[in-house]
């Protein structure tokens, strides 16, 4: 877990997002291996174990295949990674792209829902136990979605929110283009879009909290 990613983590509970307080227990070459993260707003605690940040207990589907060179180059192009810098967030189906993409470009990568035994370090971080992307808004230069994260509206909204304005959003062709994303191109396998500068809708979690309050007042 890279420090920059650790600092971008946010509590997944439906309250105003704010930084978590990190107690670092073990680091290796700038990579946080063991830590405890506390939420000052609600008291929730999260652990970083062996480089993975555990943000809940959601079980991710099996990761996709390791990409061949063509698939890798294609993913780099879809995500617009020709110019270096920044961090991309990858859904479970893209997990095996993380290390080769980081080696091919100058970006860092975060895998959400990493497969068993997935190794972190060398610019690759992992966030486990969550379908949402529990990070500050605008953290990532690009996000690669899969059917699993797109199947949950609140999770999907968090991925779009986590993407920087005008950052790239890539998804399988059968995933609908979500609100807040402008489609740039598509083929039979994927579409690529750009996150709009201003999100059209607030995060779904906030809508639900507001709806719950409205319901309770009746």
- Binding-residue total with Zn ion (CB under 5 A): 6
CB closer to Zn ion out of 44 and 147: 44
Query: Minimum Å distance from CB 11 to Zn ion?
Result: 3
199 binds Zn ion (CB under 5 A): no
Structure tokens at 141: 């230069």
Cα–Cα distance measured from residue 206 to residue 135, given in angstroms and rounded to the nearest whole number: 15
36 vs 73 by CB, closer to Zn ion: 36
**DSSP-assigned letters across all residues of 109-123:** EEEESPPTT---BTT
Per-residue burial over 91-116, b = 16 or more CB atoms within 10 Å of its CB, e = otherwise: bbbbbbbbbbbbeebebbbbbbbbee
Distance CA 175, CA 192 (A): 11
Q: What is the DSSP letter of 95?
A: G
Give the one residue of 1, 9, 39, 108 binding Zn ion; rule: CB under 5 A. Answer: 39
- In whole angstroms, the minimum distance from the beta carbon of 82 to Zn ion comes to 38
Asked if 136 is part of the footprint of Zn ion (rule: CB under 5 A), the reply reads no
Identify which of 147, 132, 136, 143 has the alpha carbon closest to the alpha carbon of residue 81.
143
Give the residue, chosen from 44, 104, 136, 206, that forms a contact with Zn ion under the rule CB under 5 A: 44
Window contacting Zn ion (CB under 5 A); options: 33-41, 78-86, 136-144, 174-182: 33-41
Taking the complex as a whole, how short is the minimal distance between the CB of residue 118 and Zn ion, in angstroms?
A: 26
Q: Which residues sit at the interface with Zn ion, rule CB under 5 A?
A: 11, 13, 39, 41-42, 44
């Amino acid at each position: 877990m890279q420090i920059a990613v650790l600092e971008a983590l946010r509590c997944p509970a439906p309250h105003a997002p704010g930084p978590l307080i990190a107690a670092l227990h073990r680091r290796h070459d700038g990579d946080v291996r063991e830590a405890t993260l506390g939420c000052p707003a609600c008291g929730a605690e999260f652990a970083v174990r062996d480089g993975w940040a555990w943000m809940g207990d959601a079980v991710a589907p099996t990761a996709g295949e390791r990409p061949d060179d063509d698939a890798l180059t294609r993913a780099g192009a879809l995500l617009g990674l020709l110019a270096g810098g920044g961090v991309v967030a990858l859904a479970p189906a893209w997990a095996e792209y993380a290390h080769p993409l980081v080696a091919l470009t100058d970006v860092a990568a975060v895998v959400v829902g990493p497969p068993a035994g997935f190794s972190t370090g060398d610019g690759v971080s992992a966030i486990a136990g969550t379908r949402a992307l529990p990070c500050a808004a605008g953290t990532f230069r690009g996000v690669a979605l899969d059917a699993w994260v797109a199947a949950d509206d609140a999770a999907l909204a968090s991925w779009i929110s986590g993407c920087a304005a005008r950052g790239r959003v890539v998804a399988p062709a059968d995933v609908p283009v979500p609100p807040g994303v402008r489609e740039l191109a598509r083929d039979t396998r994927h579409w690529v879009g750009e996150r709009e500068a201003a999100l059209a809708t607030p995060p779904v979690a906030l809508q639900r909290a507001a709806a719950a309050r409205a319901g309770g007042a009746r």
